[in-house]
C-alpha cells in the first residue's frame, strides 16, 4: 500500500477516525509514519498526533521541521498544543512557537505552558464560549456563533463581567427561549461550579465526578475566566493517575508500558530493587546479631520468611486503604482514633492467624509449646506494628506535603520486613532465653 498510490491511501484514510489512524501509525515504521502524517490534511494529522503513543510521537516530531510542527499546532486545541510543545527541547520549543502564524493561539499556548501539568491550569484549554453580562440576547447570539467556530463542542456558555470575572453560566436552551430584547444579566444562572488555575487535577476530577459536570470553567487568582476543562481531558487524566498509583504500589517509578524498551523498563524498576537490596542488607545484619540462637533454636530461622511476609502484606493492606481514603478525601476523625482502630483490627486478624499458626505448627510441623507460643505472640505483635506503620506513614507524609503514594509497595514491605524480624527475635529472646 505504501509506495506510490497516494490517492488510494488518502481516499481510504479519509473515512477512518483519527484515533484509529493513530493506532495504525503506532504500528508502522518511522519513515512510513512520517510519510502518512505529511500526506494527510492538517486537521486530521493534528488529531492523530495527539492520540499517538508518546515515544512514537517524539520520533515523528524529530523528523518534522519546526514549520511543519507549527502548522499541526495551529489546528489543535490550545491544551493539546501545549502538551505537545512541552515534550520538545527548550530550543525547539521557541523555534516552533515562533513559527505559529496565529498570534493569539501562540500566546494562549505560551500561557498554558506556565502552569504545572497536573494542575487545573495545565489541564485547561483556552477555547471556550463566553459572553458579557451586559450584552443583549440578540447581540450575544451573533457573537456566540463567531466564538463557537473555534470550539469543537459547546458544553456551556460562560458569563463574565467587564473585567472578565466569571459571573455565571448560560445554557443554549435558556438563550433560545429568552426574549430577544432581554439582557444576558436577566437570564443567566449565577450558580456555577469553577476551579482555580492552581487546583490539583485530582480535585478537579473529584468535583466534576461529584456534580456530573461535562466541563468546568477555570479562573485565575482574581476570579477572571481563563479557560475550561472538559470531561474527556479529565477522563484521560484520571486514567493516567490510576495507572501511576498502581505502578507506584508495584514498585515502578516511571510511567512505562509492557512494550517499552528494556532500558526504559530497567530505569523504572531498578531503583526500587536497589532499595529492597539495602533493606535486605539491614535484615542480614539484624539476623546476624541473633546468631547465638542458631545453636539451640535454629528452627526460629525457618519462620523468618513467614513473619516477614506477614509484616509486608499487612503493611501494604493498611497503607493502601489509607491512601485511597486520602485520595477520596473520605478520611474522617483524628489520627489517634484511626490508629486505635488499626490496633483493634490487627488484634482480630492477628488472633485468628495465631490460632491457625499454633494448630498448624503443633499438629503438622511438630513444634513444642514454648516454640509455638513464641512464633504466635510474635505474629500478633508484628501484625499490630506493621499495620500501625502502614497507617501512620502515609498520613504523616501527606501532612508534610509529600506524595503519600511514595510510602507504599516496596517501601512499606522493606521497612516492615526489618521491623518484623527485629520484633520476632526480641520476643523469642525473652520467651526462650538465649
Within positions 333 to 362, which residues make up the interface with a second copy, using CB under 8 A? 333, 338, 341, 344-345, 348-349, 352-353, 356-357, 360
190 vs 221 by CB, closer to a second copy: 190
- Give CA–CA dist 345/264, Å, rounded: 41
Binding mask 189-228 for a second copy (x = CB under 8 A): --x----------------xxxxx-x--------------
- Give CA–CA dist 421/378, Å, rounded: 9
Pairing mode, if any, of strands 215-219 and 225-230? antiparallel
Among 65, 180, 328, 426, binds a second copy (CB under 8 A): 328
Which of the ranges 5-13, 66-74, 103-111, 269-277 carries the binding residues for a second copy, by CB under 8 A?
269-277
- The C-alpha cell 461535562 sits at 214
Among positions 105-134, residues that touch a second copy (CB under 8 A) are: none
CB of 91 to a second copy, least distance (A): 32
Residue 21 neighbours by CB under 8 Å, 6+ apart: 13, 36, 40, 44, 48, 51
- Listed as own residue / partner, the contacts of 296-305 with beta carbons closer than 8 Å and 24 or more positions apart are 296/432, 296/434, 297/371, 297/428, 297/432, 297/434, 299/367, 299/371, 300/371, 300/374, 300/424, 300/425, 300/428, 300/432, 303/375, 303/424, 304/421, 304/424
Among 188, 303, 371, 425, binds a second copy (CB under 8 A): 303
Among positions 26-65, residues that touch a second copy (CB under 8 A) are: 51
Query: Is residue 75 within 8 Å of residue 44, measured between CB atoms?
Result: no
CB of 361 to a second copy, least distance (A): 8
158 vs 371 by CB, closer to a second copy: 371
- Give CA–CA dist 215/36, Å, rounded: 33
Which of the ranges 76-84, 138-146, 195-203, 255-263 carries the binding residues for a second copy, by CB under 8 A?
255-263
Which of the ranges 1-9, 68-76, 97-105, 301-309 carries the binding residues for a second copy, by CB under 8 A?
301-309
The answer to the question of residue 406 lying near a second copy (CB under 8 A) is: no
Containing 194, the helix (H) or strand (E) segment is none
Among 1, 142, 222, 262, binds a second copy (CB under 8 A): 262
66 vs 327 by CB, closer to a second copy: 327
CB of 168 to a second copy, least distance (A): 14
24 vs 287 by CB, closer to a second copy: 287
- Give CA–CA dist 317/230, Å, rounded: 34
- Give CA–CA dist 73/85, Å, rounded: 9
What is the torsional sign of CA 419, 424, 425, 431?
positive
Among 243, 397, 429, 431, binds a second copy (CB under 8 A): 243
The answer to the question of residue 284 lying near a second copy (CB under 8 A) is: yes
The answer to the question of residue 4 lying near a second copy (CB under 8 A) is: no
Query: Which DSSP state fits 406?
Result: G
User: Dihedral, CA atoms, 36, 38, 42, 43, nearest 10 degrees?
Assistant: 20
The answer to the question of residue 426 lying near a second copy (CB under 8 A) is: no
Among 90, 288, 363, 400, binds a second copy (CB under 8 A): 288
Amino acid at each position: 500500500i505504501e509506495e506510490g498510490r497516494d490517492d488510494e491511501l488518502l481516499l481510504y484514510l479519509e473515512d477512518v477516525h483519527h484515533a484509529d489512524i493513530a493506532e495504525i501509525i503506532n504500528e508502522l515504521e518511522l519513515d512510513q509514519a512520517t510519510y502518512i502524517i505529511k500526506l494527510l490534511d492538517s486537521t486530521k494529522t493534528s488529531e492523530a498526533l495527539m492520540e499517538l503513543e508518546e515515544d512514537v510521537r517524539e520520533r515523528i516530531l524529530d523528523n518534522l521541521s519546526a514549520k511543519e510542527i507549527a502548522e499541526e499546532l495551529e489546528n489543535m486545541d490550545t491544551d493539546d498544543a501545549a502538551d505537545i510543545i512541552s515534550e520538545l527541547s527548550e530550543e525547539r520549543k521557541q523555534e516552533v512557537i515562533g513559527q505559529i502564524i496565529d498570534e493569539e493561539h501562540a500566546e494562549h499556548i505560551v500561557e498554558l505552558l506556565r502552569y504545572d501539568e497536573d494542575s487545573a491550569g495545565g489541564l485547561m484549554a483556552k477555547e471556550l464560549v463566553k459572553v458579557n453580562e451586559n450584552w443583549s440576547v440578540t447581540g450575544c447570539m451573533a457573537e456566540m456563533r463567531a466564538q463557537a467556530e473555534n470550539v469543537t463542542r459547546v458544553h456551556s456558555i460562560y458569563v463574565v463581567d467587564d473585567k472578565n470575572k466569571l459571573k455565571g453560566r448560560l445554557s443554549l436552551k435558556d438563550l433560545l427561549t429568552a426574549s430577544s430584547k432581554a439582557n444576558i444579566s436577566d437570564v443567566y444562572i449565577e450558580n456555577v461550579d469553577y476551579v482555580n488555575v492552581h487546583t490539583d487535577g485530582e480535585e478537579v476530577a473529584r468535583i466534576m465526578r461529584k456534580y456530573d459536570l461535562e466541563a468546568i470553567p477555570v479562573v485565575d487568582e482574581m476570579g477572571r475566566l481563563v479557560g475550561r476543562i472538559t470531561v474527556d481531558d479529565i477522563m484521560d487524566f484520571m486514567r493516567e493517575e490510576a495507572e501511576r498509583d498502581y505502578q507506584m504500589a508495584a514498585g515502578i517509578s516511571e510511567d512505562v508500558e509492557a512494550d517499552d524498551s528494556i532500558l526504559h523498563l530497567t530505569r523504572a524498576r531498578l531503583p526500587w530493587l536497589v532499595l529492597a537490596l539495602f533493606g535486605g542488607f539491614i535484615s542480614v545484619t539484624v539476623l546476624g546479631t541473633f546468631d547465638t540462637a542458631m545453636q539451640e533454636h535454629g528452627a526460629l530461622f525457618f519462620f523468618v520468611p513467614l513473619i516477614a511476609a506477614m509484616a509486608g502484606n499487612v503493611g501494604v493492606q493498611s497503607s493502601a486503604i489509607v491512601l485511597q481514603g486520602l485520595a477520596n478525601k473520605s478520611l474522617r476523625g483524628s489520627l489517634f482514633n484511626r490508629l486505635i482502630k488499626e490496633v483493634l483490627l490487627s488484634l482480630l486478624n492477628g488472633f485468628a492467624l495465631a490460632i491457625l499458626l499454633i494448630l498448624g505448627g503443633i499438629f503438622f510441623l511438630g513444634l513444642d509449646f514454648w516454640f509455638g507460643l513464641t512464633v504466635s505472640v510474635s505474629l500478633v505483635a508484628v501484625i499490630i506494628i506493621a499495620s500501625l506503620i502502614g497507617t501512620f506513614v502515609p498520613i504523616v507524609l501527606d501532612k508534610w506535603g509529600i506524595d503519600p503514594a511514595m510510602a507504599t509497595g516496596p517501601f512499606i514491605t522493606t521497612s516492615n520486613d526489618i521491623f518484623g524480624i527485629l520484633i520476632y527475635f526480641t520476643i523469642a529472646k525473652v520467651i526462650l532465653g538465649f
